[in-house]
Amino acid sequence: MRIADLLLPEFDQEIATTRRVLERVPDERGEWRPHPKSFPLGHLAQLVARMPGWATMVMERTELDIAPVGGGFPGYSFEKTATLLEEFDRNATAGRAAIEAAREEDWQVPWTFKRAGETLYVVSRYHMLRTSVLNHLVHHRAQLGVYLRLLDVPVPSMYGPTADERM
């Protein structure tokens, strides 16, 4: 079985679960944060909306500089949930297509992660997709779930029932 065929069911499951969480983000609370060191809700939701598109980047490139000298990252804005869902859906569709199109040899390609020109690590493309896309998406989705709980917004089921929703 192809690696892509193993990854796609997991990608699809995580995307569907993440969308259910993202749908619940209240528009009027974008600037809210649970702690001064925490990301604002609206920025965390925007990050989650963008992350499925990272699959496309991982499959099309072989390196990323997260903080290039001279800048380059567009930053965050506060958007309505409907706008975030549109971005999420576009990114999920593109990310899925990139994974589906991958050849077996694509997964072994070395992938370099940098900050300000300095190489932080080099791993296989497969490892980069698993850790920096799928696992990372689950991590930030979980944070979003905590934010929703603290705002008394019903948290949807993810891997099992929540206090608000049975599976």
Residue 157 lies in a domain: no
- What's the mean pLDDT in 15-41? 97
* Token pair 């892509």: residue: 4
41 found inside a domain: yes
What CATH number is given to the structural domain containing 118? 1.20.120.450
Tell me, yes or no, whether 131 lies in a domain: yes
Q: Which helix (H) or strand (E) holds 45?
A: helix 41-50
Domain residues for the domain of 127 are 3-150
CA–CA dist 139, 74 (Å, integer): 22
- Asked if residue 155 is part of any domain, the answer here is no
Q: Is residue 164 part of a domain?
A: no
Provide the pLDDT for residue 166.
83
Q: Which two tokens mark 24?
A: 């619940």
Q: What beta strand segments (E) does 18-69 contain? A: 63-65
- Provide mean pLDDT across the span 16-33: 98
- Mean pLDDT (the chain, rounded): 96
Please write the tens of the pLDDT for every residue from 53-100: 999 999 999 999 999 988 877 789 999 999 999 999 999 999 999 999
Q: Are 137 and 130 in contact (CB under 8 A)?
A: no
Average pLDDT in the 115-129 region? 97
Is residue 162 one of the residues assigned to a domain? Answer: no
What is the structure's pLDDT at 92? 98
Checking if the pLDDT of 27 tops 80, the result is yes
Domain count, the chain: 1
- Domain contains 119: yes
Residue 123 lies in a domain: yes
**pLDDT tens by residue, 140-158:** 999 999 999 999 999 999 9
Angstrom distance (rounded) from CA 76 to CA 92: 19
